[in-house]
Each structure stands twice: as structure tokens, then as C-alpha cells.
Amino acid sequence: MSELHHECGIVAIYHLPGEEISPLCPEQGPEQVSRLVPRMLLDIQNRGQLAAGMTTYNPHRDQLIDTYKDVGSVTEVFRLAHRTDCETVMREYAGRAAIGHVRYATCGADDRSYAQPFERHHLIKYKWFSFAFNGQLANYQDLRERLLSDTDHHLARETDTEILMHELSRELSGDLRPSLSELMQNVSCRLDGAYSLAFLNAQGDMLLARDPLGIKPLVYAKEGPLFAAASESVALLNLGFQPESIQSLLPGQAITITADGRLTIKSFCSHARRAHCFFEWVYFANVASTLDDRSVYVSRTALGAELARLELKHGNVPLDKETIVVPVPDTSKAAADSMAFELGVQAMEGLIRNRYAGRTFIEGGQGRRKKAETKYTPLREVLHGRRVFLVEDSIVRSTTMRVLLDRIRTVGGAREIHVRVACPPIIAPCFYGIDMSTIGELFAPKYVNEGHLSEDVLQRMAADLGADSLRYLPVEAIARAIGFQGDQLCQACITGSYPTAWGQRLYELAIQNSHRGESNGRTYEARGLPAGCRSGPPVADQARRFV
């Protein structure tokens, strides 16, 4: 799963005005609460390592809101390893309110101009704002073309974040002065996709919003005068907020805070359905987080139990002292431990991850393979002569899995390797913020397209990977493990059924591209989408071919 990456993560913090000082606040006082942002971003660094940044609000400086951002990890951007440099940044950008962002690109380039937050300067304070965005707009290309059809508009970047900045600016144009919740309501009716958003203006007003389907997570907490929000609960827990005070913002809700300290939570858009991204619990989220009242750790242990039940029902691998369960570090460990416990065999760490090997996802072709080879070290002392259940959270493109299997066999000396995947086959792209937008880049579709996953098909897939056997969890196991009904989860990448109209249309385009042998370029960035992808009902029969 080192090949698969989420787009972004956001945080926000506000010390509300008043005489009381929060015990969680930095020693320097409420005007320095922005110092907590790098710490929060470190806790969600799993969501993006390409760039980081923050915008702070301080009514006592000329730059009422000011943005600091750059390419690099949180430690690199905020100079956390250099005390003097870090202190200079913290002092210059001190504020009583702040929003922050970590980025991994699913669209756009890798330079500083794409780092977030995005700030829009204006002479009028309520029109001068900054915002951070986690997600993906499935109707990005349509919104872009609509904007550019008006020759007064210009877009400098290939990213939906800039599109969103224009949409927010449009709602604040002229003499319009909507409330923040009205602003979000007006903009949301034009958006198709997944998002959580943090917004801060030069009046000291803050807005946090979550998409109407709840695809992207967003949690918040308030204790005394201190308010904080983040993509994951671990960022708030490690600040010192009590677990019982941390809540998930409901889909379609917005939190608004005004400079005088008024905090309100209000629905800006209602939707009958929920579509939480199941991959948050399977892979993306920090294992210490709880999202929508579902523990990530507990969900992953349940996935491991599902793997064990599947093995006991269909497997024929001997469960003796020569058999061990080995996780692919780190996100598979909870599932692997649980599977081993249920099967009554030993779980061992036969792969050691080199945390300083670099980020394989920014390397292409052979570069990605070479990085994968140095990222994990097989322990021969553990693996030699053993029968290994290798537990992985998913197989996307299969590059890393092929490398791992080769090294476990040749370097580790394993006798047999049986791959067990705590997720169904990935058979369709994601258009909501995960970096896999074409069918051609995925491992499973060419096999699943031939029919259901029979034992013969699974064995052929295993042979192509270099494993002795391969088994995936069925789709229905995901909902059981997480604790939601299937129709409350977005499972588009494992079913081909998308929760939004534009997601389904893009899938139809991806299928057409696949049939033509075209797999280069991200589907949602395609110019001139076919007419059938612009309007009308989804072509359900085409989508079913990959289920």
C-alpha cells in the first residue's frame, strides 16, 4: 500500500476571546495558539508529505491574516529540527486563530504555489480570506471550463483548490455579504465530490465544513475557550482534549466562529445518504484515530478476524508451528495480529520498514521499484524455511507487492508465501481524493472482468504476483468490520458504484479509455469530456462489467 496516497489533511485552532486561558494553550498565551499547528499537522502527516503550511489571524499586525507554506514534510517546512529558525517562524506568524494543511498531490504540480492554504488578498476584510481543502471535486473539469468560458476569469494552476477559491470569491463579490454558513450553502450546490474545508478571513471569522455525504472525515473539540478541528481525532487527543469532547462533524454541517467568540454548528446541505470512505479505516487514517464513532484500530482488528474466518472456511494452508503471519508494515499490523490470534498461529515481524528510505509514490517506473526494494528489509531469521501468511491492507498497482514477494523469497528464504488482503480487489478508480484515477494502472480489473474471483482466477493472480496463493476479503466484510451498513460507505473502488453523479460519469469515461487502451493522465483532468459524460444517467451496464 505504499503506492497509494491520500490527498490532504487539515487542522484548525481558535482561542476564543475572554478572560479565561485554556490550560492547553501555549505558555506565551492565547495570541500564540498558532504554535500548536505544527504539532497537529505532525499527527496527520500520514495524509500528506509533499507540502505543509498554515494561515494565522492576528488583529494586532498589518497582515491580519498571513500564510506560511512550502514544499516538504512538516518538520522540514516549519524547521522543527532547528530551534532558532522554528522560533522565528512561530513568532512572525503568531495568532489567536489558525488553519493548517498537509498535502499529497492527486492533481497539480509539486511546487510551492500548489501548497496550501490558499490565500486571497483583498482591501475589504471579509473578502480577504485563506482556506485549506482536503478532497477532490469530481466535476473539476466542468467547473474549470465554466469559469474559463467567461474571458474575465483566469486560472493559473491545474488544481481544484484554485477552482474552489474562485467559487468562494464569487459568493463574496460586489455588495454580497453572506454569512459563512450561507457562503458554504451557496458554493456547495455547485460541487460534486468529497471535501472537508477550513476557512479563515481577515475579520477573524472561521468556517469548518464537511461534504454532504461525509466522504472525507472531520472532527472537532471545544474545552473552555479553546476550539480545535482536524481531519483525524489523534491530532486533538494529543493536544490534550479529553476523548469524550472529540466529536465528528456530521455530513453537510458547518461550524462557524466569529471574532467575538460566537460558535455555531449548522447544516448547510442535507443528503439522505452517507458515503464515508471505507479506506479511512482500512489504510489512510492513523490507527489511533476514531472517525464517526468507529475506532480505526478496532476496525482493522475486525478485518483480521474476517481474514481468519475466510481462511478457516476456504483455506488449505497447514496451521502448524512452521506457519507464521507477517504484516506489511505498518498499517497491516492490527489485522495481521488479529488474524494470527484467531488462527492460533504466531504473528511475527518478518519485514522491517526503513522509515528513511524516502517516499516511493513520487518515483515513477523503475525509480518506484528501486525505492520499494530499499523500503522493507526481510528478516531471514524469521522467514527462512517458514510458511508465511503475508497480510496486506490492499493491492492497488501491485508494484510494491511484487518486489516484497521476490525479496521475502530470495532474501528471506521463505518456503511458501500466501498473500491475504484485508480488502476486496480494487477494480475501479477513485475520483474523491485517492491517487488512482485510471483503470489501466490497477492490478485487479483484468482478472475480475473475466468473472467472479474463482479459485482458478485467484491462483492465476497469485502466480502473476509471485505468491503461492492469494485471497481477498469479500465486499460485505468491510461493512461488518467497520460497523456501518454498506450503503453508508463509499465503496466505489471495490464495486464500481459511485455515490455522486459525476463520479459515475468519470467511471464511464475511465472504462472508455480502458477499452481504447488509454491509461495515461488522470481521468478527472481530461479535456473535453464526451457528451455522455456530461449529462444524463450513468451507463450502469458498463459499470457492472468490473464488479
Catalytic residues: 8
Which DSSP string do the residues of 394-444 spell out, in sequence order?
Answer: --SS-HHHHHHHHHHHHTS--SEEEEEESS----S---SSBS---STT-SS
The count of other CB atoms within 10 Å of the CB of residue 175 is 4
Contact of 502 with 431, CB cutoff 8 Å:
yes
| Inter-CA distances, 433 with 27, 106, 420, 522, Å | 37, 7, 26, 12
Dihedral-angle region of residue 398 (phi above 0 means left; psi in -120 to 50 means alpha; beta otherwise): left
Beta-ladder partners of 221: 228
Given CA atoms 436, 438, 441, 445 in this order, what sign does their dihedral have?
Answer: positive
CA-to-CA distance for 87 and 486, rounded, in angstroms? 48
CA-to-CA distance for 160 and 502, rounded, in angstroms? 14
The count of other CB atoms within 10 Å of the CB of residue 87 is 12
341: its cell numbers: 490470534
Q: What share of the chain is helix, strand, coil (3-state, %, to 5)?
A: 35, 20, 45
CA-to-CA distance for 351 and 376, rounded, in angstroms? 6
Contact of 256 with 180, CB cutoff 8 Å:
yes
CA atoms within 13 A on the CB side of 157: 20
144: its cell numbers: 474549470
Residue bearing cell 516538504: 72
Contact of 307 with 447, CB cutoff 8 Å:
no
Q: What is the largest CA-CA distance in the chain?
A: 75
Contacts of 13 (CB under 8 A, 6+ apart): 33, 34, 36, 37, 40, 97, 98, 226, 227, 228, 229
CA-to-CA distance for 114 and 45, rounded, in angstroms? 17
CA dihedral angle for residue 39, residue 43, residue 48, residue 53, rounded to 10 degrees? -20
Contact of 226 with 33, CB cutoff 8 Å:
yes
